[in-house]
Copies of this chain bind each other. A is one copy, B any other.
């Protein structure tokens, strides 16, 4: 494996928040949180993590790469399913520990077959029933896409 990409270390708060230097603040596990939204609809498609290598690859290729904590592996979104994410724009938040990418999503982002991972609503209100409400239909059959 080649040398992992280096980002400059985060500095003091003023520079982090008001500067133009991109100095992502990776957590103790070397990860930043990434939110992917549909560039057209604004819908949140998924929340995942990137390590320095995934972040560098996403920037250089314009395709979304993540780091899977469960599999302990770098992962190009869509490698198995074909459901890639072309990155239209990348943003970083004030303290540089979260990334937002606006993407053109091929197929569906969720391994369950839905367009978005957020396919269930949580009812609100005092004493609200903790019963989820399905909002989105499947856009693909996960059994046909993920073959073991």
Contact = CB atoms under 8 A, between A and B. Distances in A.
Interface of A: 7-8, 17-22, 33, 35, 37, 41-44, 46-47, 59-62, 87, 89-94, 98-100, 110-112, 114, 117-128, 130-135
B59 A47 contact: no
A102 to B, nearest CB: 9
A33 B59 CA distance: 23
A139 to B, nearest CB: 14
26 contacts: A17-B112, A18-B112, A19-B132, A20-B131, A20-B132, A21-B130, A22-B130, A22-B131, A33-B33, A35-B44, A37-B37, A41-B42, A44-B44, A47-B98, A59-B124, A62-B125, A91-B119, A91-B122, A92-B118, A92-B120, A92-B132, A93-B117, A93-B118, A94-B112, A94-B119, A98-B117
Contact of A118 (B18, B91, B119, B128): B91
Nearest to A32: B47
Given A100-B44, A112-B17, A131-B21, A60 B126 contact: yes
Contacts of A22: 122, 130-132
B42 A93 contact: no
A104 to B, nearest CB: 13
A114 B92 CA distance: 13
